[in-house]
């Protein structure tokens, strides 16, 4: 195999991975340009080694080779890297799209490393187009997760504030918290859907003005 063509495959893989990484970094995600660049280039290198690195052993007797065996480990191995970008906070999961992007970037690197230029480039274009389209669709309706610590007597007033607000409220959970000065407290967890950030601020102000509300946090 021509060594220059193999170098070209590495270069193309790095460029394609960088494009996806740039899109992720432009939205302030955890894994950005450098991470996707290294994942794509490394996946292509592993694929090249898996496919061409043992050519001198093919004619050796009693030696059987599976050219896909080394490359197959990329698919499972990339999962550990993707897991590092997933964050669970206040029962809200973030980073799944970035983790999936790393997994897809590894697939693109494998495809280019195997010499499948058109599928690899097509997959990159489709991922970029899909991320931009769905990101714009998601921005039309924003959602925030809120947490309110209140005494038992303050549950109904808080629920009334959420019910009478102008935004859509869902996933309301009431969990028993702890006792402070022998007063039982509960934690109310809810999700707000709206297009206006000012409406979320107004809800927070209304909750803080409600009697028996200890703390409110909306993210």
Task: Give 24-81 pLDDT, tens digit per residue.
Answer: 887 767 677 888 899 999 999 989 988 887 776 767 777 677 777 777 888 778 877 7
pLDDT of amino acid 205? 79
pLDDT of amino acid 125? 93
pLDDT of amino acid 167? 72
Residue 180 above 60 pLDDT?
no
Cα–Cα distance for residue pair 197/55, rounded to 1 Å = 60
Cα–Cα distance for residue pair 30/24, rounded to 1 Å = 8
Average pLDDT over residues 91-108: 80
Higher-confidence residue: 182 or 56? 56
Residue 129 above 60 pLDDT?
yes
pLDDT-derived band at 194 (thresholds 50, 70, 90) equals: confident
Q: Which residues contact 151 (CB under 8 A, 6 or more apart)?
A: 183, 184, 185, 186, 212, 214
- The CATH 3.30.70.260 portion of the chain extends over 142-218
Residue 193 above 70 pLDDT?
yes
Residue 87 above 70 pLDDT?
no
Average pLDDT over residues 144-169: 76
How many C-beta atoms lie closer than 10 Å to residue 52's C-beta? 14
CATH node for 142-218: 3.30.70.260
With tokens 């004619």, the residue in question is 59
pLDDT of amino acid 12? 94
Q: Which of 88, 86, 195 minimizes the C-alpha distance to 138? A: 195
Average pLDDT over residues 13-17: 92
Residue 93 above 70 pLDDT?
no
Average pLDDT over residues 112-123: 92
């Amino acid at each position: 195999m021509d060594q220059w063509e193999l170098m070209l495959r590495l270069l193309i893989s790095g460029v394609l991975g960088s494009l996806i990484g740039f899109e992720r970094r432009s939205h302030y995600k955890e894994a950005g340009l450098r991470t996707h660049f290294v994942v794509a280039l490394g996946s292509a290198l592993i694929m090249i080694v898996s496919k061409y690195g043992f050519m001198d052993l093919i004619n050796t007797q009693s030696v059987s080779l599976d050219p896909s065996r080394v490359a197959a480990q990329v698919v499972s191995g990339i999962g550990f890297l993707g897991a590092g970008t997933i964050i669970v906070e206040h029962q809200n999961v973030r980073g799944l799209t970035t983790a999936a992007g790393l997994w897809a970037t590894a697939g693109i690197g494998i495809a280019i490393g195997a010499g499948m230029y058109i599928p690899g480039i097509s997959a990159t274009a489709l991922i970029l187009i899909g991320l931009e389209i769905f990101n714009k669709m998601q921005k039309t309706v924003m959602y925030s997760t809120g947490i309110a610590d209140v005494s038992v007597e303050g549950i109904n007033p808080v629920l009334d504030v959420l019910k009478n607000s102008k935004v859509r409220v869902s996933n309301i959970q009431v969990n028993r918290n702890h006792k402070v000065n022998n007063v039982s407290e509960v934690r109310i967890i809810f999700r707000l859907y709206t297009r206006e950030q000012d409406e979320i601020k107004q809800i927070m102000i209304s909750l803080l003005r409600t009697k028996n509300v200890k703390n409110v946090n909306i993210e």
